[in-house]
Amino acid sequence: MSTYFTPVLTTERLVLRPLKTDDAAGLFAIFSDPAVVRFWSAEAWTDISFAETAIARALEGYRDETDIHFAVELVRGGQLIGTVKLHHFFNQNHRCELGYAVASAHWGKGYASEAIEAALDHGFREVGLNRVEADIDPRNEASGRVLEKLGFRKEGYMPQRWLVHGQYADTVNYGLLRSYWDERKAVRG
């Protein structure tokens, strides 16, 4: 098993790279949008200091190689449009969790699918993961669609797991095994 180093990955339209200090304004623009945190048990950021704290934590994660945390930027123009994170690694079990967000102005263009695909490919092929888990609010249909397009399977349902903006919210548990990933890649080439 490798350590959890965050490399630079390139896809057709995106660059996935480590966050850096001067991403604070770009990150704040994404996570200060209530639409982005609509299904999260956290409020939208109200001050740039939230972004600075998040970046400081990411930099610690890079230093300690505990999380693979990508900033996602457009190849064309270099704008920061989202983040993808492989985190909560269980080294012994070759397993981790997946988190992601895309700025709402860029939804529906396939960017989440493209970025997450690159991150997962890195996780299965380079890091040696066997299983990736995601849990989402069942009302978050775009997120469920992204996971299912990438080959994740629904594995469970946990009622009232989170308190989301003052209301209990359910969770759908999704899982992706390396064997599903390899099969999907073999079919698609």
Ligand X SMILES: CC(C)(COP(=O)(O)OP(=O)(O)OC[C@H]1O[C@@H](n2cnc3c(N)ncnc32)[C@H](O)[C@@H]1OP(=O)(O)O)[C@@H](O)C(=O)NCCC(=O)NCCS
Residues lying near ligand X in the complex (CB under 6 A): 36, 39, 99-102, 107-113, 136, 140-143, 145-146, 149
Question: Shortest distance, CB of residue 44 to ligand X, whole angstroms?
Answer: 11
Residue 1 Cβ vs ligand X, minimum distance, rounded to whole Å: 25
* Least distance between ligand X and beta carbon 9 (Å): 16
Q: Which is nearer to ligand X, 24 or 136 (CB)?
A: 136
In terms of CB distance, is 36 or 58 closer to ligand X? 36
Nearer to ligand X, 5 or 111 (CB): 111
Least separation in angstroms between CB 180 and ligand X = 18
By beta-carbon proximity to ligand X, the closer residue of 107 and 180 is 107
User: Which is closer to ligand X, CB of 1 or CB of 105?
Assistant: 105
Q: What is the DSSP string of the chain?
A: --------EE-SSEEEEE--GGGHHHHHHHHT-TTTTTTSSSPPP-SHHHHHHHHHHHHHHHHHT--EEEEEEETTT--EEEEEEEEEEEGGGTEEEEEEEE-GGGTTSSHHHHHHHHHHHHIIIII--SEEEEEE-TT-HHHHHHHHHTT-EEEEEEEEEEEETTEEEEEEEEEEEHHHHHHHHHHH-
Q: How far is the CB of 188 from ligand X (least distance, A)?
A: 15
List alpha helices for 32-177, DSSP H: 48-64, 111-122, 141-149
